[in-house]
Amino acid sequence: MAISIKSPEDVAEMRPACRLAGEVLDYIEPFVTPGVTTAELDRLCHNFMVDVQGCIPAPLNYAPPGYKPYPKSICASVNHQVCHGIPNDRALKKGDIVNLDITTIKQGWHGDTSRTFVVGDASILAKRLVAITHECLWVGIAQVKPGVRLGSIGAAIQKHAESAGFSVVREFCGHGIGRNFHEEPQVLHYGKAAEGPILETGMVFTIEPMINAGKAAISELPDGWTIVTKDRSLSAQWEHTVTVTQTGVAVLTLSAGAPSCPQGITITP
């Protein structure tokens, strides 16, 4: 499948879905406290998306080839869960980290974003992993501009993560997005800067590094969805949907409550 180039009108039509996805994370953040279950967070997010925002939670019943339908409206990945964690009745406890991954559909367009939250206080390692992973996201975003190779994103993320002593999950990547949940290109979070297609104005894709405190190896749980670190080390993820502008990058899923770009990282709009 070829990479879809969105027109300025397409990008304008995508913006509401992307903004709403970010606003779901703003809404849910105060509820991410010790004692809440991820099933309750899913219920709150679902009701907010459907009843308040008037949008569709894209993960609910999503079934790519080879998968059974995903049963919930958000993904909630706790501690050593890397991605695609299915919300359940396990209560979060102080010191946990949890990634909440939100994808909305509004007027036929998708917006996709995630954040990793620290539940109460946490270990120095957990807080450092979450912070470095957030930096990795923005280090990747900073590479985006017309004329550079897609591989520049992954190369920058890999260098930043590994220099901090962490590892990059390789089996999952960012992706093109638009009227479809997943489109070309695949956006790797590791690799060489000289590889991959050349970025063009109008490309829209996610950057969503999954960074492990231990080794990069992963495995899949019997539920057919949840991915965990093989060594049971902590894993964190952050995600934004971005578009290549004429001169740089626009982050479409930024919202009022989203953590800003870390100091020392320069973004060209």
Boundaries of every domain in the chain: 8-251
Picking from 10, 77, 46, 3, the residue whose alpha carbon sits closest to that of residue 252 is 10
Query: What integer is the mean pLDDT of 160-185?
Result: 98
Amino acid occupying residue 11? V
Contact status, residue 232 vs residue 81, Cβ threshold 8 Å: no
Q: Which residues contact 211 (CB under 8 A, 6 or more apart)?
A: 129, 132, 133, 136, 161, 166, 167, 168, 169, 235, 236, 237
Check residue 142 and give its pLDDT. Answer: 98
Strands (E), the chain: 56-57, 75-78, 81-83, 97-106, 109-118, 167-168, 174-176, 183-187, 204-207, 210-212, 218-220, 227-229, 235-237, 240-244, 249-251
Fold assignment, 8-251: Creatine Amidinohydrolase (3.90.230)
Q: Give the tens place of pLDDT for each residue, 129-138.
A: 999 999 999 9
Q: Report the predicted TM-score, pTM, of the whole model to 2 decimal places.
A: 0.98
Summarize pLDDT for 199-224 with one digit per residue, the tens: 999 999 999 999 999 999 999 999 99
Instruction: Name, in order, each residue with C-beta under 8 angstroms of 75's C-beta and a sequence gap of 6 or more.
Output: 59, 83, 84, 85, 86, 87, 99, 100, 101, 114
Q: Is pLDDT above 80 for 106?
A: yes
The 10s digit of each residue's pLDDT in 31-64 is 999 999 999 999 999 999 999 999 999 999 999 9
DSSP 262: P
What is the number of residues in the chain? 269
The predicted pLDDT at position 1 comes to: 76
Check if the beta carbon of residue 157 is closer than 8 Å to that of residue 132.
Answer: no
**Buried b vs exposed e over 76-104: b needs ≥16 C-beta within 10 Å?**
bbbbbbbbbbbbeeeebeeebbbbbbbbb
